[in-house]
A and B are shown apart, each in its own frame.
Chain A
């Protein structure tokens, strides 16, 4: 937790055991097939340069295993530690870098949405590694210390050459501050696939990326437990956050 606050990320190994990793990977491959069957896009032009990067959206809808993973206690402890108790699940997607997939544009998740200055973490990713992740198979690359960058004008020139890969074993999670500048790596291997799940959480006054009311089926919504229902922001009390006090003068 201290590492996450200080260096903008932390890696926790062995959160999932070998069996759980296999189960989750199988569920992900099913989700790819199911997305294709439903005619949902698995490639997003503008986000990735070619179709070797397979994206799966709406994991929450597609399998119970993902509904459990997004609430995993290790993940939530890290989220609460960085964002505080008032957070929402903004999105839960997968990115499978197949051989030949190319790096996307460098960005920070907070920086492309929230106006500068970026002084506090209002967003973060919990990245689930379903394969061993290393530089050659497309590990996420990050710019060390860039979570402290407050304005776009402070970004260094030639960022790519200074970026480092997040290397981790399958079953690890990588927690990353939403202000960290990063990109996916190129997968330059011949055969190694790299599957990552991105649980994206934001402070609860920020509009979630996924409109859960619209993307989840009524069956899924009615089957959600109370905690997940609230963390998806499905209830009637939407943004009622107060950061200041009301000044009452009789």
Chain B
């Protein structure tokens, strides 16, 4: 089977990896300070949701109630906004999807000791088959903890984008590779890549990922930004972010004759 591509900090090489393997790994995409801030924000928000009993458990992709999902990240801390519009992420988005593209959702995924591996899937699961011959989306996984052999590293099938279909029941035994990467790394893979959350078999290690998912602009977003973000947020958002959130429109998407932003 196809191996994982070697990690690289060269953007051109990362783009070629996405074309060839469907996946790329970029170490140290976050600075030490950025990582520290994002990590503390992530665990602060997890704690807040736990305390308020808002925590999302038993999500459709998770087989148990241990894995925790964090929604509505853009409104929670600027470090997540920074990831969504990070120049490296957007350079990969432009390469894979073109521009404009949309941010479909951004969520957090926390594995905790004992959480089982998730369901095998490809992210463009909402597109009926047969699929067109190019990817319709891409996810950028930002690692806030080291991804190790035992703490629930994402498992995927490099090259599975070339099969160009969703995994079937009979594909459950497919060979998968764990993505091992350091905290601060970025792992991007296009939306046809077969993958799942890994099992956390560690005694005491959690594993946090922030997962912005981008699509071509014809698809309806998975998060309804008009409900989750307030006016102040929109007033302060960059032009690129406004494009990603579908506040920049032309032709038929006009609001009272002009683009809403």
Is the A/B pair a real complex? yes
B166 an interface residue at 8 Å Cβ cutoff? yes
Given A211-B246, A246-B121: A205 and B220 interface contact (C-beta under 8 Å): yes
Interface centre among B104, B228, B255 (most CB of A within 10 A): B255
How many residues of chain A have a CB within 8 Å of chain B? 46
Contact B128–A238 (Cβ < 8 Å): no
Contact B253–A247 (Cβ < 8 Å): no
Taking CB as reference atom, which chain A residue is nearest B227? A236
- Could you say which of B116, B222, B257 contacts A238, with CB atoms under 8 Å apart? B222
- Could you say which of B125, B134, B251 contacts A242, with CB atoms under 8 Å apart? B125
Contact B220–A206 (Cβ < 8 Å): yes
Contact B255–A206 (Cβ < 8 Å): no
A212 to B201, CA, bound (A): 46
- Could you say which of A203, A237, A249 contacts B173, with CB atoms under 8 Å apart? A249
A191 an interface residue at 8 Å Cβ cutoff? no
A52 to B13, CA, bound (A): 54
A236 to B56, CA, bound (A): 15
CB distance from B163 to the nearest CB of A (A): 13
Q: Is the interface of A mostly helix, strand, loop or mixed?
A: loop
A91 an interface residue at 8 Å Cβ cutoff? yes
- Count A-B contacts at CB 8 Å: 121
- Could you say which of A207, A234, A235 contacts B221, with CB atoms under 8 Å apart? A207
- Could you say which of A211, A213, A245, A250 contacts B116, with CB atoms under 8 Å apart? A250
A210 to B252, CA, bound (A): 7
Q: Mark A203-231, 1 if CB is under 8 A from B, else 0.
A: 11111111101110000000000000000
Contact B220–A214 (Cβ < 8 Å): no
Taking CB as reference atom, which chain B residue is nearest A213? B226
Contact B132–A116 (Cβ < 8 Å): yes
Contact A207–B217 (Cβ < 8 Å): yes
CB distance from A102 to the nearest CB of B (A): 19
Chain B residues with a Cβ under 8 A of chain A: 60-61, 63, 102, 104, 116-117, 119-122, 125-130, 132, 134, 166-169, 171-173, 216-224, 226-228, 246, 249, 251-257, 260
